[in-house]
Each structure stands twice: as C-alpha cells, then as structure tokens.
Amino acid sequence: MSRMNDFIQQETITGIVPMTNKDRQYSFWDLFLSTSGFAIATWCYTQGAYVAQYLTFNQMLINIFSFNIIWVFIECLPILFAVKYGIDLWIWLRAVLGKKGVALLSTIISLANFGWYAVAANLFANSMIHLGNNFGLGLDKGVWAPILGTLCVLLGTLIALGGPEVIKWTNRFLVIALLIVGLIIVGICFVAVPITDIMNIQPATQGDLTPLERFMLSGEGNVAFAFSWSTQALVLPRLAKSERSGYWATALSYGVVAPFFVATGGVMALAMFVKTGVYESDPTTMLSTLSTPAFALLSLLLVAFANIGTQGTGSYVNCMIVKSGMPKVSYKLMVWIAMVYVSLLTIWGGVEEYFGSFISLAAYIQGPIIGMIVVDYFILRKRKLDLRSAYFLEGHDAYEFTKGFNLVGLSCVFISLLVAVLFVYNPVTAQIQSPIFLITTGSGFTAIFGGLLYWLASLTPLKRYMIKDRDSVTI
C-alpha cells in the first residue's frame, strides 16, 4: 500500500494524474518566481539583440512590450481550466487533437522547444569561459564550449529530476538576484554610453525594407517569442492553489518580466553598437565590455547559473508535455533522453546561427494550437471537459476520434502552417509574401487562422465529429 501511494504521488507531480487541492503546492509568489526564473534566461538577451537590429530605441521598446503583452495575456487564458481541473494544456488538447495527435504534436513541439535550452547551455559555456580567462586560465573555446555546455545541461537535468519542489527553491534565489542584475545592467548601459547616442541609432538592418516592414519583422520575432511559452506555460499552473494566482503569476512572468529582459538585451546591443560599432548578442561579451570588471564578473556568474535553473525547469515542463502524449513512459527516462538530445544540440551549436528561422518555425506549429484551444475552451466546449474521456476510462471514448487522431484539429494545424509559409511569411527565407503579414505577422496569422478554421469547421456537420462529450462533461 505504501509503494502504491508513493507511485500515485509520483504520477501526480511528474505525471498526468489530475492534481487535487491538497497536492497543489504553489502560491502566487512560488509560481511567479518559478515561471520568471524559467522566462528570464539569457536567451532574452539574444532575443533583444535580434529585435534591436531592425528598430530605433523607442520603436524597439514599443515592439517588445506590445506584442508580448497582447499575445501572452491571450494565450494564458486557458490557464483557468488548467487550475480548475488540475491538468495541463495537453490533457485538454486530447479533445482537440485526439490522444495520438497529442503524442505526435507534443513530441514535435518539445523537440523544437529544446533548441532554446541549447542556446542557454551555449551561453552558460561562453560565460564560464570568459570568467575562467579573466582569472588567467586560458580556456580554448573550441575545446571547452561543448564540455561546459554539456555540464550545464547535466546540472539542469539533476534539478529536473528533483521535480517542482527543487525547481521552486532554485528559482527563489536566482530570480531575485537576476532581477536586480537586470536593473543594474540597464543603468550601466546608459552610463557606459550617452543615452542620446543610444536613442539616435538608426536600424542596422534596413536593405529595401520599409519602416513598417522592419517593425513587423521585429514583431514576428516577438510574437514567436511569446508563442514559445504557450505549450510550456500551461504545465506549471496546475500546481497553483487558485485560478486567479495561476493566471496572473504566469501572464505577468511571460508577458512583463520576460519582455523586460528582452528589452535589456536590446539596450545592451544598442550600447555595444555605439561603443564598438558591432551588434552583439552574447551577454558575456556585452557585460564585460560595458561594465566594470568586478560587476561584470558577478553578473556573468549569476547569468551563467541562471541557465542551469532554466535547464531544470525547461526539462521538467517539456518532459511533462511529452508525457501527456506518452503517459506510460517514465518521467525520469524522458529527462535523461532530453539531456542527451539537448547536449547534442549544444555541441552542434547551430541553433543560434539560424535563430530567427528557428523561433518562427516553432511558432508556426504552436500558433494554430493557441487559436484552437481558445476557440475550443470558450466557444465550443464552454469551459467544460469530459475528464473521464480525457483519460480514456473504460466506456468513455468521446475523444477517440479516428484511431486516436482528431483529423479536423490536426488539419487546422497543418493547413495554417502551410498557408502561412506559402502565402504570408516564409521564415526560412525571411520573405514577406503578403500584406497580411504587416497586420498580423506570420506567427500571429497562424493563431488567428487556425482558430478561425476550427470555428468554421464547428459550423458544419463536422461538429458532430468534433464534439461528442456534452452528455458526460465534468462539472
């Protein structure tokens, strides 16, 4: 009996069993700090530098905060059901995609998401190499970057194996420290170079682009950045003690705190351009160039170790995503497999080279899911789910669809992706292919179009195929 209770507890915390009220261990501040710690990894600086190339200082700030706040606050709305039912997004998505559809897309999206952690691991390695060289160690980047990057992934894996409790306490220290560092970094940037020089910089990437095209290309990066949280954002909230705290802790972390650090990265990139004439995305180089030696060393150390906490939280949420589709696979096994995969991406080092294409392609898959889940939650199912069918209990097969695949939901995802790539914006070639892009961006289009397709399908006889659970919904 004791072993059975331990198993049930384990499957509740690191599995897909619905969380009861007594199992929920995160207050508003616990969830806010854990989510913020995950959100403000050094990839924010990379994102900020990417956006800064296209815009002036004022345009950059407007772009970063407006696109992130609008989309994050929308995509976080289904958190209300995550807390109500004690489940995550991917359990609800069984009603939208089918059990095997969830297994397919959760795996594809997690494989894409893990690219972010390779970026974080490489930044950790760069920070540690820079620190070591400041102390005269003479570390060769070609040799030590793969080793230290893999070490970051390994240490993050150990945190992930500890589960939500370890993640919570790890982030309590790191988030507060990093928030202070972020504020000081902004101040240092304005001291290192005159603020008027930063505000007067003209965009480095112009070419034949109009000002509106440059603004929306940066917007595409920020919408894709906002979407990158969507499939992960609705995992941790199931641990929250109330719907209100679950929503606001998550929305404020991804919609305000993360954009603040993206803006910090953008300011640093602009300050570096003023001082050196070169745009730089590596916070290690930026901190050491703009800051005093003592503060640079402390900041680099904190930034470096923040990536370990990010690895831990990211491994947990993404393995939970995959477990939603493959519940019988051990959580710990998934964490170890993820460690190997991210280590290989880290050693390869190619994710940063194709950063813009990478985030947009990932968002093109996540966007339609955001649109569909909002339509499904508010319009079709009216916030009520058949929890028995979601867990495929005997006699409850409303979400079985066609051999485990909801062909309508999956079609909406793939049609939206193809239409966006072929007719709106091609993220691989960075080609704007329709004026629609200048209104919605490419990633935003996939969310709007995916939700619209799903809603239109519900107005046809397909509705009988899509919704079979109204007689047995869970109150």
Confidence band (pLDDT; 50, 70, 90) for 2? very low
- Smallest CA-to-CA distance from 130 within 141, 120, 119 is with 141
Confidence band (pLDDT; 50, 70, 90) for 296? low
Contacts 24+ apart (CB under 8 A), 419-424: 419/449, 420/364, 420/367, 420/445, 420/446, 420/449, 421/364
Residue type, 54: Y
> In sequence order, what are the beta bridge partners of 402?
405
Count of Cβ atoms closer than 10 Å to residue 248 Cβ? 19
Please tell me which residue, 404 or 166, carries the higher pLDDT value.
404
Count of Cβ atoms closer than 10 Å to residue 5 Cβ? 9
On the question of pLDDT at 83 being above 90, the answer is no
Q: What tokens were used for 436?
A: 């629609």
Q: How far apart are the first and last CA of the chain?
A: 31
Count of Cβ atoms closer than 10 Å to residue 315 Cβ? 26
- Smallest CA-to-CA distance from 264 within 115, 60, 36, 34 is with 60
Please tell me which residue, 174 or 327, carries the higher pLDDT value.
327
Give the model's pLDDT for residue 233: 65
Burial class (CB in 10 A: 0-12, 13-18, 19+), 358: buried
Give the model's pLDDT for residue 4: 40
What are the φ/ψ torsions at residue 431 (nearest 5 degrees)? -100, 125
Relative orientation angle of helices 442-458 and 355-375, to the nearest 10 degrees: 30
Of the candidate CATH numbers 1.10.4160.10, 1.10.3720.10, 3.30.413.10, 3.10.180.10, the domain formed by 1-357 belongs to 1.10.4160.10
Q: How far is residue 145's CA from residue 308's CA, in Å, rounded to a whole number?
A: 15
pLDDT digits (tens, 9 = 90+) for 451-471: 999 999 999 999 999 998 877
On the question of pLDDT at 199 being above 80, the answer is yes
C-beta separation of 65 from 270 below 8 A:
no
Task: Return all residues near 214 (Cβ < 8 A) that are at least 6 apart.
Answer: 54, 55, 203, 205, 206
Confidence band (pLDDT; 50, 70, 90) for 295? low
C-beta separation of 250 from 256 below 8 A:
no
If you average pLDDT over residues 127-152, what whole number do you get? 86
What are the φ/ψ torsions at residue 240 (nearest 5 degrees)? -75, 150
If you average pLDDT over residues 48-53, what whole number do you get? 85
Give the model's pLDDT for residue 1: 45
pLDDT digits (tens, 9 = 90+) for 298-333: 666 766 777 787 788 888 888 888 887 788 888 889
On the question of pLDDT at 35 being above 50, the answer is yes
Q: How far is residue 320's CA from residue 234's CA, in Å, rounded to a whole number?
A: 10
Give the model's pLDDT for residue 92: 86
Please tell me which residue, 86 or 72, carries the higher pLDDT value.
72
Give the model's pLDDT for residue 414: 95
If you average pLDDT over residues 434-439, what whole number do you get? 95
Calculate ∠ Cα 46-160-387, nearest 5°. Answer: 105
pLDDT digits (tens, 9 = 90+) for 374-391: 999 889 988 888 888 888
Burial class (CB in 10 A: 0-12, 13-18, 19+), 243: middle
- Winning range, highest mean pLDDT, from 19-28, 317-326, 407-416: 407-416
Give the model's pLDDT for residue 18: 73
Q: What share of the chain is helix, strand, coil (3-state, %, to 5)?
A: 75, 0, 25
Q: How confident is the prediction for the chain on average, in pLDDT?
A: 83
| pTM exceeding the 0.85 threshold for the entire prediction | no
Name the residue ranges covered by the structural domains of the chain.
1-357
pLDDT digits (tens, 9 = 90+) for 204-246: 766 788 889 999 999 998 998 888 887 766 677 888 888 899 9
pLDDT digits (tens, 9 = 90+) for 91-114: 888 999 998 998 888 888 888 878
Give the model's pLDDT for residue 163: 78
